[in-house]
């Protein structure tokens, strides 16, 4: 599976769970930015997980699956 398709699957899983998966594009691998995903609840604009953009696409899908059950 390519990185792009893996990212797309993570975004779709977040959307199904009522969340938004944001991937950073700015200065990855710094102290506050690990270059991957953050999960946001768009209803209240709150960070659910990945405060430092440190969620992998697999982490995003796992968290979203737990929220659906």
CA distance 55 to 50: 5
Give me the pLDDT at residue 56, please: 92
At 47-69, the pLDDT tens digits run 999 998 889 999 999 999 999 88
24 in helix, strand or coil? coil
Give me the pLDDT at residue 53, please: 86
Give me the pLDDT at residue 15, please: 97
Tokens of 34: 């690990």
Give me the pLDDT at residue 52, please: 85
What global pTM score does this model have? Answer: 0.84
At 6-45, the pLDDT tens digits run 999 999 999 999 999 998 876 555 666 656 899 999 999 9
Cα separation values, 42 from 1, 27, 29, 31, 48, Å: 28, 24, 26, 25, 10
């Amino acid at each position: 599976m390519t990185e792009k398709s893996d990212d797309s699957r993570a975004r779709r899983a977040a959307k199904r769970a009522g969340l938004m998966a944001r991937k950073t594009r700015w200065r990855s691998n710094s102290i506050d930015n690990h270059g991957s995903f953050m999960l946001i609840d768009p209803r209240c604009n709150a960070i659910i997980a990945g405060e430092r953009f440190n969620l992998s696409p697999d982490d995003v899908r796992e968290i979203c699956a737990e929220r659906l059950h």
